[in-house]
Structure 1
Amino acid sequence: MDAEGLLAPWPGPYGGLPPFDQATPERIERAMRLAIDRRREDVTAIADNPNAATFENTVLALEKSSRAFRQVETLRAVFASTRMGDGMVEADKRLAPLIAGIEDEIAQNSRLFTRIEAVLAARSALEPDQVQLAERVHRHMLRRGAALTPAKRAELTELNGRIARLQAEFQSNLSKSGDEVVWAVDAGELEGLPASAIASAAKLADELGKPGVWAIRNTRAAVWSVLQFARSRRLRQRVRDMWVGRCAAEGSCDNRALVKSIVTLRGKAARLLGYPTFAHMAVEPRMAKTPEAALDPLMAIWSPVRFESLVRLKDLQVIADADGLGEPIQAWDYLFYREAHRRMRLGFDSERVREYLEVNNVLAALFDAMGRLHQVQFRELNDVARVHPDVRVFEVSRDGSAIGVIYADLLAREGKMPSSWQYELRTPENIDGRVIGLSNVCTNFQRGPDGEVLLGWEYANVLFHEFGHALHMLFSRARYPSLGSMQVAWDVVELPSQLNERWLFDPPLLKRHMRHHRSGAAMP
């Protein structure tokens, strides 16, 4: 498949699936440039239509015009976050300002804006979701400069292009920071660490060309293990400093100047659009509406949270003093003594819990809970193109009919962002017939030295959380993609996923599915 082929409707079942096996950074870049040109042509035709503006020939036509663009954008986003090799980072930096530029060009098309306003002027003849879509397009165009003078539009476009380029560079640096390591050359430094963590550190050091020592990579799973279990305070401090200092020290990953530039440019763009600060611009479309409304509840709980935290810290200080610490607990001590508190006062051992949270057990529990809650079933698909062999793909069905497909990219690897997220590969729609959604769930679980994937409680929680986002997206019944369930006010997006987390705490669910990874015994 050549670059032009990436713009064609996706092949295969389920209304088509992303051709990850046919995509390369070079093809994606060429396809995106073609998609931008085609989108420009389509929008120009809509804006220059000699017929009177209607919902169908203006708003709906605009919604349909972006399909090929969205397809290529999906491939770009997945490669740029999970498969950064082979020149993808450089391609993404080149594409970022072009993508921002076409968005500004469309939004600032005065003829198109006039037609959108004409559609809204006749809103009484439209259905409610048609009005909502027209209003969303209108609002988006205003926030990209539609009402500005030509000179200010040009300035905004230039600012947005620079911001996009800097953000792509920021993300690239953040990803590279996951390759940083802290070296341990003395086995005594590793006292207290789980055997699996020690073995993984030895394996990483061997892969990096230093057999006989240990390497702690700058990823959350490796860092948290040290901070929770390592008795060596010096190692804890070194690892914690590496983690909190990501992209904040001199070197190839330094993001400090980028952050300053992005913040400055965002402020300029917001003021051009009439907002006093970028915070006012960012919060306006959310439920909070103003920065003050967002900040007030945080400040209201600050004092009681601080009081409770100090009480807990005193409890931990007692344990630390008995352990011979001899000084106040520091940031790199907190997780270590919190873990000690759990073991001593509560009889709870995080590492023992981990032995039951094998990734397939957690998935089985998740699918069971979602089946009982939402009457959906999950079936693994094997003959599907994927961005990496580790990715697992699941059909989601209800009453015998597929309602979506979830790509589960769960394992850490080189060239993948060190985080957890859910991304819409395709938003459900029902314009010319039902099209089901496709979701990409990404985490960075670590394989053990024997290939086992055992999750700490917080990582099992992450899996329930991200699948909550995926189901929220797949359950959308919106007719138009731009009104899909992930397009709600951003403060609302986290609600379904946070509710979904709570089902991990269901005791019968844990008893049914959480079995010891070796003995098969149920979790006590």
Structure 2
Amino acid sequence: MNPLLTISNSLNNPPAFSKITNDHFKPAFEQLIEKAKAEIDKIGASEAQPTFENTIEALEFAGKDLDRVSAIFFNLNSAETNDEMQAIAREVSPMLTEFSNDILLNEQLFKRVKTVYDQQNREDLSPEAQTLLDKTYKSFTRNGALLSDEKKARLRKIDVELAQLSLEFGEHVLAETNKYELVLENEADLAGLPDQIKEQAAETAENKGYPGKWVITLEYPSYVPFMTYSARRDLREKLAKAFGSKAFKGDDLDNREIVKQIVKLRNERAKLLGYKTHAHFVLEERMAQSPDKVMDFLSELEKYGKPGARRDVEEVAAFAQKLDGLEKLEKWDFAYYSEKLKKEKYNVDDELLKPYFQLEHVVEGVFKTAEKLFGIRFIENPSIDRYHKDVTVYEVKDENDNDVATFYADFFPRAGKRAGAWMTSYAGQYKDESGNHRPLVSIVCNFTKPSKTTPSLLTFNEVTTLFHEFGHALHGMLANGTYESLSGTSVYWDFVELPSQLMENWCYEKECLDLFARHYKTGEKIPQEYIERIKESASFMEGYQTMRQLSFGMLDMAWHGTENLEVENVAAFESDIMSKTDVLAPIEGTNMSCSFSHIFQGGYSAGYYSYKWAEVLDADAFEYFKEHGIFNRSIADKFKEHVLSAGGSEHPMKLYKRFRGQEPDVKALLRRAGLLQ
């Protein structure tokens, strides 16, 4: 019996992960694609007059079993993959793309959708139903429904190629990350490293077959601390070059040709559909609306960010000169010396703070924060099946003990897990005649594992990462829409980061830190003076960090928002774009584009600016909380009702203004960042 074919869509039904093997996936996909096709064909072939219910709603609820299995498979392919799964992904991705195109290029079906779109009286529909109608119609037109047969065939071919190229891009980056090892032979190589990082490096070495040595990898929990604390400038340079040259070495894992192909195909696809560029196509469905508006936004921030970034670099360079006689500050020096400068200026650093941020306590703190704001509780349930022993599963309940969600927490790196941190869903929230289907939500991170002598202690940056991903999770868990495609995080991409980035603000507030920040050995609460130093240092190097984010956003827009783009040399193209925002010399032999997974593997193409866009929203929103108290329940209720529970039911600016009473103010971000001089 294939457990993927017996998954019930009954309320809150988690997958039986322990019964699923790789052999189950392909047969399940094949069978469920056929089942979904039959459901779609039935809608298209209906002889009844097309209505919102028998066409638009019917389409929304078709293929639920396939959606569920796709979510399970592709989430596992990110969090617990292996060569066999990656091979299956390469097989099933074209099948799913073809199935999707079969729907979107089905003329009979589109005719019915268009009839409803043209004839439906909008006043008879709820705002959410109106959004669904518009979104459904656009999903056809934006995928070629109005094209000639010849152009439709080309569009299908492009979509299959893009799905394959995106997978290949990600596999190359993961393979490059996994294969690199900086093997350290003696104590002198460890100069400057905190004890816990040394211990972790020794355990990594042992696991990789280097007993008695230390190994640093390109995974963030290994790479970032080394770049921050290692006193060995030669090794920092070596590691920075390895990190920055992922998939950029001219070998079989090189991504340069893939980048060029992806960009070319995306722009060709956009032109087929009548758009100037891929960015014009993408931004039609974003708050920002157009590449010009995005560039105006990024340029406005650059006006304040670049002078701040130059001041930051000058300050760090002068400090490095004074401390070590360093003649020229390089990129691989910046984290090391800025961390030392931060410690000198604010007497605060990760090693001072980490003992107060034991992972289990931080998790407890984020749960308490959610309870105080939104009235939800998290109850661990070890009997719920999980896909790896490191995953912890919780039932989420409201104040009346109703089911809110099932929550999976997966915190530690391993070979089968991609780098970074993300939130995802194994099943989304929606309502039908059987009730309100509650979501299965997961956050996946790569924090330092506990060692034999020390629990997992987080840097302050990792604490904010956890709160960030948990904000996304709240968006999924508190969803309360009718339609899954508009529920939870199914919102415009430049709105989706609002809940996550907003949650980070609580990490800087005493009222919140007092809930969980206590010394893992003594139980002592984090001292008030440390909290003050954290707050004082919050905008430290903010000019430099702002320019770093803007440079990524501008690189993304250059790849995707340039008409008739022809790129021969990926490195030269990137260098030209990045030189406009660089405040430190680039590292020779490195390239961002070749490992820029957000835009070439994930969903952020023509959308990387949205991190900064959402920062404006979150800074503005948190000012509202600060005015009335950070745990003010009535403000939290408004945020829950108009943002978290509303999902993508209406245009995000309408929702935001209902919550805030005004449009967001860009100056709120500049005030918080200390960039308004």
Do they superpose with TM above 0.5?
Answer: yes
- The equivalent of 2:52 in structure 1 is 55
Structure 1 residues 328-386: Cα deviation after superposition (integer angstroms, max 9, x where no partner): 21100001111111121211122120111111110111111111111111111110111
Within 2, Cα distance between the matches of 1:30 and 1:505?
Answer: 49
Q: 452, 457, 463: which one pairs with 1:454?
A: 457
Q: SS at 1:467's partner residue?
A: helix
Within 1, Cα distance between the matches of 2:33 and 2:325?
Answer: 61
Q: SS at 2:411's partner residue?
A: strand
Question: What letter matches 2:440 in structure 1?
Answer: L
Q: Aligned-pair distance for 1:279?
A: 1.3
- The equivalent of 2:510 in structure 1 is 507
- The equivalent of 1:473 in structure 2 is 476
Q: Is the 8 A contact 1:247 1:255 kept in 2?
A: yes
Q: SS at 1:321's partner residue?
A: helix
Q: SS at 1:249's partner residue?
A: coil
Q: Name the CA shift for 1:51/1:11 in 2 (closer, same or farther; >3 Å).
A: closer
Q: Is the 8 A contact 2:191 2:231 kept in 1?
A: yes
The range that moved more, 149-158 or 265-274, is 265-274
Q: Is the 8 A contact 2:429 2:436 kept in 1?
A: yes
Q: Aligned-pair distance for 1:252?
A: 4.8
Q: Aligned-pair distance for 1:216?
A: 0.6
Q: Aligned-pair distance for 1:86?
A: 5.6
- The equivalent of 2:24 in structure 1 is 27
Q: SS at 2:306's partner residue?
A: helix
Within 1, Cα distance between the matches of 2:525 and 2:194?
Answer: 21
- The equivalent of 1:114 in structure 2 is 111
Structure 1 residues 40-68: Cα deviation after superposition (integer angstroms, max 9, x where no partner): 12111110111111222211221121201
Structure 1 residues 391-414: Cα deviation after superposition (integer angstroms, max 9, x where no partner): 111111112111111111111111
Question: What letter matches 1:172 in structure 2?
Answer: E
Within 2, Cα distance between the matches of 1:97 and 1:152?
Answer: 19
- The equivalent of 1:371 in structure 2 is 371
- The equivalent of 2:265 in structure 1 is 265
- The equivalent of 2:647 in structure 1 is none
Question: What letter matches 2:394 in structure 1?
Answer: F
2:91 paired with 1:94: yes
- The equivalent of 1:519 in structure 2 is 522
Question: What letter matches 1:443 in structure 2?
Answer: C
Q: Aligned-pair distance for 1:233?
A: 0.2
Within 1, Cα distance between the matches of 2:9 and 2:418?
Answer: 28
Q: 4, 7, 17: which one pairs with 1:6?
A: 4
Q: SS at 2:436's partner residue?
A: coil
2:107 paired with 1:104: no
- The equivalent of 1:354 in structure 2 is 354
Q: SS at 2:50's partner residue?
A: coil
Question: What letter matches 2:504 in structure 1?
Answer: E
Q: SS at 2:446's partner residue?
A: strand
Runs of 4+ in 1 over 6 A off after TM superposition: none
Q: Is the 8 A contact 2:7 2:15 kept in 1?
A: no
Q: Is the 8 A contact 1:82 1:416 kept in 2?
A: yes
Aligned residues: 521
Correspondence 1:256-405 to 2 at 5 A? 256-399=256-399, 400-405=401-406
2:151 paired with 1:149: no
Question: What letter matches 2:466 in structure 1?
Answer: L
Q: Aligned-pair distance for 1:212?
A: 2.8
Question: What letter matches 1:51 in structure 2?
Answer: A
Q: SS at 2:437's partner residue?
A: coil
Within 2, Cα distance between the matches of 1:52 and 1:340?
Answer: 71
- The equivalent of 1:161 in structure 2 is 160
The range that moved more, 90-99 or 20-29, is 20-29
Q: Which stretches in structure 2 are left out of the alignment for 5+ residues?
A: 528-677
Within 2, Cα distance between the matches of 1:324 and 1:171?
Answer: 40
Question: What letter matches 2:448 in structure 1?
Answer: Q
- The equivalent of 2:408 in structure 1 is 407
Q: Name the CA shift for 1:95/1:46 in 2 (closer, same or farther; >3 Å).
A: same
2:439 paired with 1:437: yes
Q: Is the 8 A contact 2:12 2:439 kept in 1?
A: no
Correspondence 1:119-268 to 2 at 5 A? 119-124=116-121, 125-179=124-178, 180-268=180-268
Q: Is the 8 A contact 1:25 1:86 kept in 2?
A: no
Question: What letter matches 1:483 in structure 2?
Answer: L
Q: Aligned-pair distance for 1:11?
A: 7.8
Q: Aligned-pair distance for 1:237?
A: 0.8
Q: Is the 8 A contact 1:10 1:19 kept in 2?
A: no
2:494 paired with 1:497: no
Within 1, Cα distance between the matches of 2:476 and 2:142?
Answer: 25
Within 2, Cα distance between the matches of 1:516 and 1:129?
Answer: 47
Within 1, Cα distance between the matches of 2:127 and 2:318?
Answer: 61
Structure 1 residues 238-285: Cα deviation after superposition (integer angstroms, max 9, x where no partner): 111122222222445322222121111111111111111111111110
Q: Name the CA shift for 1:252/1:204 in 2 (closer, same or farther; >3 Å).
A: farther
Within 2, Cα distance between the matches of 1:508 and 1:484?
Answer: 31
Correspondence 1:407-426 to 2 at 5 A? 407-426=408-427
Question: What letter matches 1:75 in structure 2?
Answer: I
The range that moved more, 55-64 or 365-374, is 55-64
Within 2, Cα distance between the matches of 1:234 and 1:19?
Answer: 49
Question: What letter matches 1:168 in structure 2?
Answer: L
Q: Aligned-pair distance for 1:448?
A: 3.8
2:461 paired with 1:464: no
Once superposed, what is the RMSD of the aligned Cα atoms?
Answer: 1.6
Using CA pairs below 8 Å that are at least 6 residues apart, which structure has the higher relative contact order?
A: 2
Q: SS at 1:407's partner residue?
A: strand
2:49 paired with 1:46: no
Within 2, Cα distance between the matches of 1:520 and 1:114?
Answer: 66
Within 2, Cα distance between the matches of 1:298 and 1:478?
Answer: 33
Q: SS at 2:489's partner residue?
A: helix
Within 1, Cα distance between the matches of 2:19 and 2:140?
Answer: 34
Structure 1 residues 147-188: Cα deviation after superposition (integer angstroms, max 9, x where no partner): 100110010000100100111111222222331222222321
Q: Is the 8 A contact 1:7 1:69 kept in 2?
A: no
Question: What letter matches 1:164 in structure 2?
Answer: A
Q: SS at 1:479's partner residue?
A: coil
Q: Percent identity between the aligned chains?
A: 28
Within 1, Cα distance between the matches of 2:144 and 2:6?
Answer: 31
Q: Aligned-pair distance for 1:464?
A: 0.5
Q: Aligned-pair distance for 1:387?
A: 1.0
The range that moved more, 57-66 or 103-112, is 57-66
Q: SS at 1:258's partner residue?
A: helix
Q: SS at 1:183's partner residue?
A: strand
Q: Is the 8 A contact 2:443 2:473 kept in 1?
A: yes
Within 2, Cα distance between the matches of 1:111 and 1:132?
Answer: 22
Output the TM-score relative to the length of structure 1: 0.96
Question: What letter matches 1:263 in structure 2?
Answer: V
Within 2, Cα distance between the matches of 1:476 and 1:123?
Answer: 27
Within 2, Cα distance between the matches of 1:11 and 1:430?
Answer: 11
Question: What letter matches 1:382 in structure 2?
Answer: P
Within 1, Cα distance between the matches of 2:81 and 2:421?
Answer: 16
Q: Name the CA shift for 1:11/1:267 in 2 (closer, same or farther; >3 Å).
A: closer
Output the TM-score relative to the length of structure 2: 0.75
Within 2, Cα distance between the matches of 1:305 and 1:129?
Answer: 39
Within 2, Cα distance between the matches of 1:8 and 1:449?
Answer: 40
Within 2, Cα distance between the matches of 1:429 and 1:512?
Answer: 33
Q: SS at 1:512's partner residue?
A: coil
Q: Is the 8 A contact 2:9 2:65 kept in 1?
A: no
Question: What letter matches 1:312 in structure 2?
Answer: D
Within 1, Cα distance between the matches of 2:501 and 2:426?
Answer: 22
Structure 1 residues 310-342: Cα deviation after superposition (integer angstroms, max 9, x where no partner): 112222122211222431211000011111111
Q: Is the 8 A contact 1:406 1:438 kept in 2?
A: yes
Question: What letter matches 1:68 in structure 2?
Answer: D
Within 1, Cα distance between the matches of 2:478 and 2:203?
Answer: 42
Q: Aligned-pair distance for 1:10?
A: 3.0
